[in-house]
Amino acid sequence: MFDTSHLHPMIVHFPVALIVAGFFLDVLSLFFNKKEPCLSKAGFYLMILGTLGAIAGYFTGEFFTPEYKGVLGELKENHELFAKITMFVMIAACLIRIYLVWKKKTRGGLKWLVFFLFLIATISVGITGLLGGNMVYNHMIGYQDTDVSAQNSTKTVNKTVENLEAAIQGETTASAKYAAFAQKAKEENFDQIAVLFNAISKSESIHAANHAKALQSMGIQMSAVKAEPFDVKTTKENLDAAYNGEKHEVEVMYPAFMDQAKADNAADAVKSIGWAMDTETKHMELFKTAIDALAANKVKTLPVQYFVCPKCGYTYSNKDVEDNCDLCGTPKEKFFVFK
């Protein structure tokens, strides 16, 4: 079945060639056609065909190509802008030129206006082609597997967006889950573990907010996210679940997200994911210590106070807190305190 998204790439090269060739012939007429300098007959016919091609190219791009986001989306917007300029300038130049031919006017200022408009259109169509080539060769080719459709290109280029959205959902759920685990620990008289869960709950909410900011820097505004359903069991089971969740993020999820963000040159995403990955490593250590203390019936030896950096979410206990955050340098005075 014919894919309408193929219409634009099938048509778009014709107006570029026709407009450039037509203008080149008009330039040659300045030197070789003394009777009607700057407006050749061949240039006239190529101008008409180029105008029709510019109209077809613009509207097939407008209605039959997918929308893109991020850097590719910005390139597409600029590509469409110059395509629109080319189309309208060519229409104006073509109408005036048809009028001149109809009235058989070979002299006067209008022919030089046509020549000037043709020059503008030639420059504009060149920029349009340059931006289109940049889109294809720098942002599509190499990101595709077997399907080379524009839709699949969008999905691949925007993989970091999908990863950040997944991370926001995961961190939001973790924050709500750990808050519930804290309440359960308090009910079971494990106050130190309750404080730990509350501190890490705050840390996870900071990670979600940082990921959302990274999305905004890519031009994406994510709607409100609700926590996914989760189970609250005994504190021992809750600690095991928390530890395994952090382990998955540190060893599987975030390393893959980091590799993709680097491949996509998403600097803010790299920073946000890096902060989260380093912090989740610390969370693993804190949960493992709590698991061991609970198993040895030594919960009272656990820290009684925790500190969370408001910028990156890194988490400290009262036993290892420093004057400034190791990850982002935020002063200790600004840390959230849990006790």
Q: What is the pLDDT of residues 259-298, one digit of tens each?
A: 999 999 899 999 999 999 999 999 999 999 999 999 999 9
pLDDT tens-digit readout, 139-185: 554 434 333 333 433 333 479 999 999 999 999 999 999 999 999 99
Q: Are 230 and 173 in contact (CB under 8 A)?
A: yes
Inform me whether the pLDDT recorded for 98 exceeds 80: yes
For 194-219, what is the mean pLDDT? 95
Inform me whether the pLDDT recorded for 52 exceeds 70: yes
Inform me whether the pLDDT recorded for 1 exceeds 50: no
Cβ burial 146-178 (10 Å sphere, 16+ → b, else e): eeeebebbbebbbbbbebbbebbbbbbbbbbbb
Among the listed residues 20, 136, 121, 143, the one whose alpha carbon sits nearest the alpha carbon of residue 76: 136
For 82-99, what is the mean pLDDT? 92
Q: What is the pLDDT of residue 29?
A: 84
For 104-108, what is the mean pLDDT? 71
> Structure pTM?
0.56
pLDDT tens-digit readout, 287-328: 999 999 999 999 999 999 999 999 999 999 999 999 999 999
Inform me whether the pLDDT recorded for 136 exceeds 50: yes
Q: What is the pLDDT of residue 143?
A: 39
Give 142's DSSP letter.
T
Among the listed residues 157, 148, 138, 122, the one whose alpha carbon sits nearest the alpha carbon of residue 51: 122
Which ranges of the chain does DSSP label H, i.e. alpha helix? Answer: 7-11, 13-32, 41-64, 70-103, 109-139, 150-157, 159-187, 191-217, 235-248, 254-263, 267-295
